[in-house]
Homo-oligomer: A and B are copies of this chain.
Amino acid sequence: MTDLPMAPSRRSLLSMIGVVAGSAAMYHAMTELGYAEGSTFTGPIKLSNPPPGTSVLVLGAGVAGMVAAMELRDAGYKVQVLEYNGRPGGRNWSLYGGDTYTELGGFTQKVGFDPGQYINPGPWRLPYHHQGILHYVNRLGVALEPFTQVNYNAWVHSTDAYGGKPQRYREVQADFQGHVAELLSKSTKQGALDQAVSKQDREILMAALKNWGALNENYEYAKSIEASNRRGFEVDPGGGLNSVPVPSEPRALSEVLGSGLWAAIGAGCNYEMQSAIFQPKGGMGMIGKAMGKELGPLIQYNAKVIDIKQDDKGVTATYIDSRTGGEKRTASADWCVCTIPASILSQIPMNVGGPMKAAINQLPYMAALKVGLQFKRRFWEEDDKIYGGISYTNQPNGTISYPMWDYFSKGKGVVLGAYAFGEPAFIAAAKPPEERIKDALEYGSKVHPQYKEEFEAGVAVAWHRVPWTLGCAGGWTEAGRAQHYDNLCALDGRIVLAGEHASRIPAWQEGAVLSALDAIERLHKRVMA
């Protein structure tokens, strides 16, 4: 039996699963069974009393590098950080109105949003169980607000279903769940499960399915007040006279299945996307900013590392000004924590052993695209009553996410008009930014016809063109990880690597934090040995 029908909708179904589970399904396909969740953070690290004067050079002021730098500094190490960008954070990054961003290939975008409007090109969510990054968020006093992963009134859209007319999430969710409940109750009544389920359990199962699937007295998922209490009404109940509600008509099972839209209703159940889930007020970049402020002059900005050398006395990094080039400078220390992404590090001469070198060189980086679109008015709220959350489409833009702040405010807002992975993200990276924005507008207008009328300004980040990462995150294969992961993470002489790529929580800031803590714990042990 094949997993999927060979009908025309196959591609559509698959793309929808990828889109919705978002990172999860993609990592799942690309990595060793999607180890993309969770945290083993067990509280603040304690590194006791290194020999006075012991120094550590940290390469990269992203989350991993800055966590390492803070903890090493606090433990008594002498710390210096070199950072390619003119700001702290790395992929912890928000693009605000007025910012400028130049990508590989030379395209420069001046973000035309109004002041205060922003998107997060990189990470945008903080799951409740990512206790490592949450520890630093709280330690540094970064204010959080809820992230809305699931919005039952958002749209679920397929160009291949319902004539391209978007459906409400709640309708798809209720109809799928209701039909599943009805089918299973039917099987149960027919005795198909008599071997698998005991008699008493069958009775409980029937009650549970009725409750959970909004079935009627005959265990059918049908046009009813019960079903409308999930999927919404044809006419809502009202007040006073003439206020009787009219139930809505559920979609037939065959329609629900054939639409492929069922693939869009699972993301909120994923461990890494479950509520409660948070975002920093004012943009994810607030975390990087706070870490940078905490480290102050320990960070040397605009420093492009071009060579890393170690010997039995220490480590020396050679760097130039990342904006102007110019003369070579060096920074030296007893030890080095290198958080430069493998995609970049593989191009920098560094005298580590073959196993680490091979691990760095083999690691591919995943593609991702984010497009931010500022609109004159918040039509998704005003017209569609969608307050935050995410709409899904089988088009290459993947998801449309609404601002999860300033709800009900008048005036402008920035929508995440595309968040795509894999092939669509690669294709977008091959186009200039304005075409990526144009595409996002074209796709988005299939879901929101108001798009073209209301559009004001856009910005597009294709991660394979981000000069300092060349991809959004390390894309471990199962075979690659089996062969190389431990070699990537193991201390090589005086150098240890850290970052999300040196973790089993790829593409999440939690991976960067835990990787950094593990790396400096091992480094400290070596120092103390």
Contacts and interface: CB of A to CB of B under 8 A. Distances in A.
Say how many copies of this protein the assembly contains: 2
Nearest to A210: B3
Contact of A276 (B151, B173, B174, B269): B151
Nearest to A497: B240
Contacts of A37: 228-229, 233, 236-237, 245
B244 A211 contact: no
**Centre residue among A239, A387, A489, A517 by max chain B CB count within 10 A:** A239
A80 interface: no
A271 B254 CA distance: 24
Given A198-B254, A229-B271, A233-B38, A239 B208 contact: no
**Centre residue among A33, A183, A198 by max chain B CB count within 10 A:** A183
A410 to B, nearest CB: 9
B35 A225 contact: yes
Given A225-B34, A238-B514, A269 B230 contact: yes
Contacts of A271: 170, 228-233
A216 to B, nearest CB: 10
B274 A152 contact: yes
Contacts of A49: none
B204 A5 contact: yes
A523 to B, nearest CB: 11
Given A2-B203, A207-B4, A275-B389, A153 B128 contact: yes
Interface residues of A, number: 126
**Centre residue among A24, A240, A504 by max chain B CB count within 10 A:** A240
Interface in A495-529: 498, 502-505, 510-519, 522
A193 B243 CA distance: 40
Interface string A378-393: 0000000111110000
Nearest to A14: B207
Contacts of A225: 33-35
Nearest to A491: B241
Interface stretch (A54-62, A100-108, A258-266): A258-266
Given A128-B153, A173-B269, A274-B152, A203 B40 contact: no
B196 A241 contact: no
Interface string A262-288: 110110011110111010000000000
Nearest to A230: B269
Interface of A: 1-5, 7, 9, 13, 17, 24, 28, 33-40, 128-129, 131, 134, 137-138, 144-146, 148, 150-153, 170, 173-174, 176-177, 180-181, 183-184, 186-187, 189-190, 192-193, 196-198, 200-201, 203-212, 225-226, 228-233, 235-245, 253-254, 257-258, 260, 262-263, 265-266, 269-272, 274-276, 278, 385-389, 404, 407-408, 486, 489-490, 498, 502-505, 510-519, 522
Given A7-B200, A146-B148, 4 more contacts: A129-B236, A187-B193, A240-B503, A241-B486
11 contacts: A7-B204, A34-B229, A38-B237, A146-B407, A197-B253, A201-B253, A228-B271, A233-B271, A239-B510, A239-B518, A278-B387
* Top 3 closest pairs, chain A to chain B, by CB: A240-B518, A38-B236, A239-B514
